[in-house]
């Protein structure tokens, strides 16, 4: 613990020294980050955040039979299907926070919660249609990216070891008042903007020192792997629409270092041992599916992937039965 504190202190000291020696770059990065928040991030995300919180709070704890087949396929405990709603609709890091809350309430076992973190923490429609859709000339591309994103998460769930070890008991949550949802949206928005500004400063330094050596698409990809909002706002620098689509699918699936840090902050007590393999698998599947869409072979590709999903789900079910009888 002491060594950790020393490293943190040393890193803070180096950061202060860099700010003193090159304050102009830091100020420019902070200015760009604040401008990005005021002109793009807040107008495009805040209304969606509010509506997403109201929507997910309405379903949390409710029995959702329509999602049971998907829950079985992903190895989610029976009764915990509502976590898929927050995981796919709530956005980063709302899904992770919902899983951690269920674990602390005793509704999930620790190993189940850690496994769910690998695929129940995703970019939501607020981000996809508030920030991503305007970056592409055709509306269907945003829908395709969302479908690719969710499909990648499901395939990651199929390949992450483990599965449901029993039924979960969830208590129906009370309907969240509009004022409470508004306050929650403001807190999330403030945290998102804080991270955007911080990472914009870091990206500005890297752009001046290192990133200018890379091709434009690689620069955008690195930026997105550091902080998702900054990376997505830089997507317009990629003139080739197909390449822009591919890069966007990859950085959306991975989420970025900033999202990982936000996830850590809301999942205290849970390990991320499945989170990183899950995100890497989701990124790989997303790039594969995005490439199939670009190549115009998405239909046969989807058929192959659906067959794979069926076989993996069947194997998971058989493994669960064997484990239950002690085989």
Which residues of the chain have a pLDDT value below 50?
320-327
CA-only gyration radius of the chain, Å: 20
Total H helices, total E strands in the chain: 16, 0
Residue with tokens 């401008």: 35
Distance (Å, whole) CA 228 – CA 134: 16
pLDDT of residue 280: 94
Sequence-ordered strand ranges (E) for the chain: none
Which residues have CB under 8 Å from 56's CB, separation 6+? 85, 86, 89, 90, 94, 98
pLDDT of residue 323: 40
Alpha-carbon separation of residue 20 from 23, 27, 102, 195 (angstroms) = 5, 11, 44, 21
Contact between 148 and 249 (Cβ < 8 Å): yes
pLDDT of residue 17: 80
Which residues have CB under 8 Å from 73's CB, separation 6+? 154, 157, 158, 309, 313, 316
Contact between 205 and 29 (Cβ < 8 Å): yes
Residue with tokens 């005021």: 38
* 215-268 tens-digit pLDDT: 999 999 999 999 898 899 899 999 999 999 999 999 999 999 888 988 888 888
Which residues have CB under 8 Å from 150's CB, separation 6+? 88, 122
Predicted model pTM = 0.80
């Amino acid at each position: 613990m002491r060594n950790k504190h020393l490293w943190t202190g040393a890193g803070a000291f180096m950061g202060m020294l860099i700010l003193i020696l090159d304050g102009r770059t830091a100020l420019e990065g902070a200015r760009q980050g604040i401008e990005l928040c005021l002109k793009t991030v807040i107008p495009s995300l805040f209304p969606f955040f509010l509506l997403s919180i109201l929507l997910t709070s309405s379903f949390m704890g409710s029995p959702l039979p329509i999602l049971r087949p998907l829950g079985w396929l992903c190895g989610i405990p029976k009764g915990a299907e509502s976590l898929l709603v927050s995981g796919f609709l709530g956005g980063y890091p709302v899904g992770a926070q919902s899983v951690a809350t269920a674990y602390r309430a005793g509704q999930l076992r620790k190993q189940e919660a850690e496994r769910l973190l690998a695929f129940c923490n995703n970019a939501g429609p607020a981000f996809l249609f508030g920030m991503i859709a305007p970056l592409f000339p055709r509306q269907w591309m945003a829908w395709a990216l969302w479908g690719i994103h969710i499909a990648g998460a499901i395939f990651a769930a199929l390949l992450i070891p483990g599965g449901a070890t029993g039924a979960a008991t969830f208590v129906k949550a009370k309907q969240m008042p509009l004022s409470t949802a508004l306050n929650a949206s403001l807190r999330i928005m403030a945290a998102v903007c804080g991270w955007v500004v911080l990472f914009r400063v870091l990206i500005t330094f890297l752009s001046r020192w290192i990133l200018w050596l890379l091709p434009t698409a690689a620069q955008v990809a690195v930026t997105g792997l550091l902080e998702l909002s900054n990376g997505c706002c830089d997507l317009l620098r990629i003139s080739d629409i197909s390449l822009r689509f591919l890069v966007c699918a990859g950085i959306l699936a991975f989420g970025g270092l900033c999202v990982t840090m936000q996830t850590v902050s809301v999942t205290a007590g849970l390990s991320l041992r499945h989170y990183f393999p899950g995100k890497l698998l989701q990124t790989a599947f997303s790039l594969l599916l995005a490439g199939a869409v670009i190549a115009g072979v998405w239909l046969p590709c989807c058929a192959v992937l659906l067959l794979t999903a069926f076989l993996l789900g069947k194997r998971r079910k058989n493994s669960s039965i064997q484990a239950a009888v002690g085989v």
